[in-house]
Structure 1
């Protein structure tokens, strides 16, 4: 049995089971008791094996909502999720999983692999209790209780390694179901559109299955075993099996078995490609043992997890933090050189499943710590825009782009300007040209960008904020590149966010729907003209009054329709705690941020307040626990209330260190701040100050001070 690599200190602190089940959080205290759940209180993470931003993952499969792992059925409200299975069960090990999403209509879980006892093929339909689970970054293992079969899986580059240890005296075998996909819930299954499979001369099996329009080519090798093909329960000829649409019900499968006595262990090596069998074959070729492969996977994760180092806090807080960084680095899935549409080498990503959440915190974290991956991501977005005529709001492993247009619009404009602000290398003239072209013609003109250009308003009203901000981002990029015409036109279109607000209330208008929230939850989003937005609310005092009602510091007025903060159960208002800084009330930000980290995160399977959404939630914690928060699309980093005594970001230009002196559970307020030993009295940093490396020293206190009451973050006029 493979042992956990405790000699890798960061890997040892990660718990991949954190957030797998319904929330079991500390009792809410103070204002936290007033917050509400818009979505099911469950993290929807899974413990499966994956590499950092890995192309492939592998996890036990029960068919449950939403990753295919676990016990829950479909849940869309803020109530406890319905229980689908009385105990944790599994049919086998499936490949490709989402991470922490909600209902996204794309659930993968392909090539379900089930160990067999004495060739008993029906085992692929028999769910077994799952016990003795173990997981750490890159590795996942456990035991099927009824059969006694122990399994271990390790993620590799574009593949997965499996090991199955069978009880003594049984004939070991394994079956791989080509027809598996999606969840075992109505309308959430995925069926192959076409497949082929063949046994090669070396005894390995290769083939491909077309899922959601994507050709997944694979090679599977099992040293020393005999290979088989089945259709339903019947063994079939190994030469060139092809599945037609009419024969989907026949459940094609392949597998391996040993008929020699004394064999109790079976090891499989999977390789995948979206372009060629040769690439899939290369992904299975390795001289490493499974133990060595597990060490190699863990070492890759250790390199990733050391990019931010923290000290201080409790052991539990350290575990939550390292697991948050781990969850922040699972997606997007890097499919470089595997573009199934252009068949060209180069950067390519899938699983932009919840981009409307990830763009605020997760992608800024990725681009900050791995600028080379940021460059690849920018190139990928441009390739998509050139090929499909528009930038995506989501991008899943299928041939139907932008399934989620009701959630948001124009997010890539903010993502790309944010990348430029962080110094990501790219052909920015090309980027700007694509942003402008796709916004003004084609899909843009026919969609909400066109609606906005005609009426200076787009519905739902949150899209008005999206598109106004998108034009601001294009204007800033054009200004930096010297494109005056684009700057002037984009700047003129960036001001109409005002049309979404009700000047009587200082909030977004109520005559609109709001995705997974209400008008209050979207009313405190960061805009480029924050001073104007605060003025629209009646000034700083009135703006703070609204925020106080939102977070629970005060109650609604007589007859006032109030909706509270979602407490990070959902992410539409994830930046709202930091909005106080724009009104000179850093002390309020400190109270809210510390209360969120105290009451909404913990260790264990119930450790998250809501869907992790591809790391969007976890990356909020990672930033906030270090005392910083990004403003996506602006060259600004906000200062919060650090949980740890020291946090060090290892950046390309040098380390940036946040030091919190006299930090404690009670000392949550900043008394004084020093940037590179020079005193500052502002609750924000320039991006250039952060990215260059240096030290931010914060002197903490139990009493609120006048810190950051006057030097407010910049407000960018067009």
Structure 2
């Protein structure tokens, strides 16, 4: 098997196994010991081979929850995830896995590729223990212990390269189950709606399978001779077609060496969700060694976007892996639109957009503005075709997306892209946002209800929609659309209707998703000054936050729900609400406690679902001392973990230098931006994106930093 490259410094720090198993974190201390969890303490990540924002991911498949990798069964509550398999086992290598999600509507794991041992074809559905696993960005390998068969796989732009190592006693044979999909948990399997494949004259196999309404075209080149199976019988024909009557059959093709023993075999895949011609064009042009090296170099380029100095070896590994996890999704399928067949930007796997919009997409827009521009164009294409912007967007043909968790997120995402300098036709973007919110599906949606009654349930959606109107108003002011500006501005103020002035919190007469009213009460709204006044002023607002985070105990008979740490996303921005009341010291203490107690090395190194990069993006931002407010032109300053961070931006490098940093010295004593001292706890977005230097001096006790000048409020 190939060895990990030792000449790529950022690449070498990443451990793709972080988050693959139940959390095994440092014992929480102080306020961190008071936080609770709403979801299972497991990252649900997988160590498979992929490229940055890659279309393809390839990893061992056991059928376990939630990505198809690992040992765990269905788990939705805050308890430990149930163990489904006592050992880490796998059937073979599957493609197109999810990345660290919780429960979603459907799952992928297509074209399950299995090396056969002494048991022959009977082994194609058998799980065998995995040993000697190893992974680094772009590469995954290991061995099936029972037969001693080794495997390696790497991802390419639109394909994958597999290599299998067979012992001398086994005739090399690899099979591909075209009907595979989904999980082996609680009827979460996926059956093909149609499939057709054939052996070509050159001995390769090409065809397509339709899963969840999406045609997945493929071509596979293998060594040896190709053959076809249906169920348990080999097919003499060179072509196979799966009909609806045979939907639960298991059509399979494979490659083998007749009479050969003990050699390695490589398979190469090319994929397309648009056409067989594109699948053929996607075939890797090299073998596993070259493809793995190319993948490693691509990852080194992506990971070099932010380089840190200082901290411990463990902290640098956690950071590099967090940046890696933050760079997996959304999966870019540009020029692969399966619905229109047209060229242009396209993405899948927005399975947790309610997480991504807070931290991961601002990171993408900041570091990769060209990809951000494509993402903006993709969202507009979906809205124009489906009549609404997505809340999630999976690899299926279902236009009615999951809307229980949040509403109107694309309004914030698109305004955030604009303030970060993404190039787009913003007049068209605004037109689509307004049209889809006010007419068609929008008239019958929560947007329509909000426009009529100025409040919707769940009450957290009232905050979403008010914020969406704020974002449309800001965009309208920029493009010069006065009517939309005035109407959206008027509708942006009704977030107040979700709050109980007597408590300063969201009202309790609502059902909240994966949290309680406390967890949604400290969202960073567009008018935080008015929000704090509604709570009774800064002193009362800080008292509420202190109870929420564990600095103070509840009053007699008072029921509170504490911060979820980073186990879940509803309150992941809440630590920064303190800045709007002049208490930067509280924010600093909390974010350091989160980074100290909720992230570590090893398979149990994450506190909850990775959520397609939303969780790790939180760590990336906070480890360098910044935090985005999606849809607003500012970056909040936290408490950096590292002595230095260099951020590579299109208009120049932005450097954060930290003097006197340590585990105890978490409080900013002095901040100097480009040579000028500042007392504010935030940067203008242009101050970051234009490049420059922020020099922070740290100390063990709180200072007056951030006390006199608050982050800006809008529409106060």
Q: Is 1:158 matched up with 2:152? A: no
Decide whether the 8 Å contact of 2:217 with 2:271 is kept in 1.
Answer: yes
Q: Is the 8 A contact 2:172 2:261 kept in 1?
A: no
Partner SS state of residue 116, structure 2:
strand
- Are residues 1:331 and 2:329 paired? yes
- Say whether the 8 Å CA contact 1:119–1:171 is kept in structure 2: no
Shift of 1:6: 1.6
| Paired position in structure 1 for 2:235 | 236
- Matches of 1:615 and 1:314, distance apart in 2: 23
Which of 342, 350, 355 is the aligned partner of 1:357?
Answer: 355
Structure-2 residue corresponding to 1:149: 149
CA–CA separation in structure 1 for the residues paired with 2:43 and 2:493: 37
Equivalent of 2:668 in 658, 664, 670: 670
SS in 1 for 2:518: helix
SS, match of residue 360 in structure 1: coil
Q: How does 1:67-106 map to 2 (within 5 A)?
A: 67-106=67-106
Of 551, 563, 576, the residue aligned with 2:561 is 563
**Whole-angstrom distance in 2 between the partners of 1:29 and 1:119:** 52
Whole-Å Cα distance in 1 between the matches of residues 330 and 284 of structure 2? 25
Compute the displacement of 1:262 (Å). 4.9
1:602 aligns with 2:600: yes
TM-superposition CA deviations, 1:445-473 (whole Å, max 9, x none)? 11000000000001100000000000000
Q: Any conservation in 2 of the 1:118–1:173 contact (CA below 8 Å)?
A: no
> Structure 1 residue 125: deviation in Å?
1.7
Shift of 1:260: 4.2
Q: Deviations over 1:109-143 (max 9, x none)?
A: 01111101357101112110000000000000000
The question of 1:589 aligning with 2:587 is answered yes
Alignment of 1:287-306 (within 5 A): 288-306=286-304
SS in 2 for 1:406: coil
Which of the numbers 519, 530, 533 marks the counterpart of 1:535? 533
- The answer to whether the Cα contact below 8 Å between 1:63 and 1:185 also exists between their aligned partners in 2 is yes
Q: Tell me, in whole angstroms, the C-alpha distance in 2 between the residues paired with 1:434 and 1:280.
A: 33
CA distance in 2, matches of 1:32, 1:680: 30
- Distance in 2 between the 1:178 and 1:521 partners? 44
Residues 105-184 of structure 1: pairs in structure 2 closer than 5 A: 105-117=105-117, 120-184=120-184
Q: What corresponds to 2:635 in structure 1?
A: 637
8 Å CA contact 2:25–2:606 kept in 1: the answer is: yes
Of residues 246-255 and 7-16 in structure 1, the stretch that sits farther from structure 2 once superposed is 246-255
* Alignment-derived partner of residue 491 in structure 2: 493
| Match of residue 35 from structure 2 | 35
Give the whole-Å Cα distance in 2 for the aligned partners of 1:57 and 1:165: 21
Matched, 1:196 2:196: yes
Cα shift readout 1:459-506 (whole Å, capped 9, x = no counterpart): 100000000000000000000111111100000000000000000000
Partner of residue 20, structure 2:
20
Supply the distance in 1 between the matched residues of 2:516 and 2:684 (Cα, whole angstroms): 32
Alpha-carbon RMSD across the aligned residues, in angstroms, is: 0.9
Partner of 1:206: 206
Distance 1:238 1:320 in 2: 52
Residue aligning to 1:258:
257
* CA distance, structure 2, for counterparts of residue 246 and residue 582 of structure 1: 62
Q: How does 1:304-319 map to 2 (within 5 A)?
A: 304-319=302-317
Deviating more after overlay: 162-171 vs 583-592: 162-171
Match in the other structure for 1:481 = 479
- For the 8 Å contact 2:159–2:284, the answer to whether it is kept is no
User: Structure 1 stretch 17-26 or stretch 183-192: which is displaced more?
Assistant: 183-192
2-structure distance, mates of 1:257, 1:675: 64
Question: How far off is 1:250 after superposition?
Answer: 2.3
Q: In the alignment, what sits opposite 1:506? A: 504
Task: Give the conservation status (yes or no) of the 8 Å contact 1:134–1:142.
Answer: yes
| Deviation at residue 103 of structure 1 after TM alignment | 0.5
2:385 to 371, 384, 387: 387
**Offset at residue 589 of structure 1 (A):** 0.2
Shift of 1:190: 0.6
Q: Distance in 2 between matches of 1:106 and 1:56?
A: 17
- 1:261 and 1:434 map into 2 onto residues whose CA distance is 61
Structure 2 CA distance, aligned partners of 1:699 and 1:28? 27
Does the Cα contact within 8 Å between 1:71 and 1:88 map onto a contact in 2?
yes
Q: Is the 8 A contact 2:350 2:394 kept in 1?
A: yes
The DSSP-based 3-state class of the residue aligned with 2:210 is: strand
User: Which one of the candidate residues 693, 708, 711 is aligned to 1:710?
Assistant: 708
Deviation, structure 1 residue 402: 4.4
Sort the Cα spacing of 1:535 and 1:434 in 2 relative to 1 into closer, same or farther, 3 A: same
* CA displacement at 1:404 relative to structure 2: 1.5
CA contact (8 A) 2:51 2:157 kept: yes
- Separation in 2 of the partners of 1:527 and 1:169? 66
CA contact 2:389–2:410 (8 Å) conserved in 1 = yes
Distance 1:482 1:38, change over 3 A: same
User: Residue 440 of structure 1 aligns with which residue?
Assistant: 438
Question: Residue by residue, what CA displacement relative to the aligned partner does 1:620-639 show, whole Å, maximum 9, x if unpaired?
Answer: 00000000000000001000
User: Aligned with 1:2: secondary structure?
Assistant: coil
Q: Is the 8 A contact 2:192 2:210 kept in 1?
A: yes
- In 2, distance between residues paired with 1:380 and 1:402? 17
Q: Is the Cα–Cα contact under 8 Å of residues 394 and 402 in structure 1 kept in the other structure?
A: no
Structure 2 CA distance for aligned equivalents of residues 6 and 471 of structure 1: 50
Structure 2: distance between partners of 1:373 and 1:282: 22
1:452 & 1:187 partners in 2: Cα distance?
37
Contact map agreement 1:465 1:500 (CA 8 A) in 2: yes
Shift of 1:248: 2.1
Alpha-carbon distance in 2 for matches of 1:195, 1:59: 23
TM-score under structure 1 normalisation? 0.99
Q: Which runs of 5 or more structure 1 residues have no equivalent in the other structure?
A: none
> Alpha-carbon deviation of 1:170?
1.7
**Aligned mates of 1:585, 1:161 — CA distance in 2:** 53
- Cα distance in 1 for partners of 2:151, 2:544 equals 54
Corresponding residue for residue 9 of structure 1:
9
1:687 to 673, 682, 685: 685
Tell me the SS of whatever aligns to 1:161.
strand
Give the deviation of 1:564 after TM superposition: 0.2
TM-score, normalised with respect to structure 2: 0.99
Is contact 1:393–1:402 with CA below 8 Å preserved after alignment?
no
Instruction: Provide Cα deviations, 1:625-664, integer angstroms capped at 9, x if missing partner.
Output: 0000000000010000000000111000101111111111
Deviation of the 1:237 alpha carbon:
3.0
Q: Summarize deviations over 1:210-252 as a string: whole Å, max 9, x none.
A: 00000000000013x1101100010113333110111123211
Could you tell me which runs of 5 or more consecutive residues in structure 2 were left unpaired when the two chains were aligned: none
Q: Distance in 2 between matches of 1:125 and 1:328?
A: 33
The CA distance in 2 between the partners of 1:222 and 1:162, in whole Å, is 9
Are the equivalent residues in 1 in contact too, given 2:118–2:147 (CA < 8 A)? Answer: no
DSSP 3-state at the match of 1:131: strand
Instruction: Tell whether the 8 Å contact from 1:413 to 1:473 is kept in structure 2 after alignment.
Output: yes
SS at match of 2:647: strand
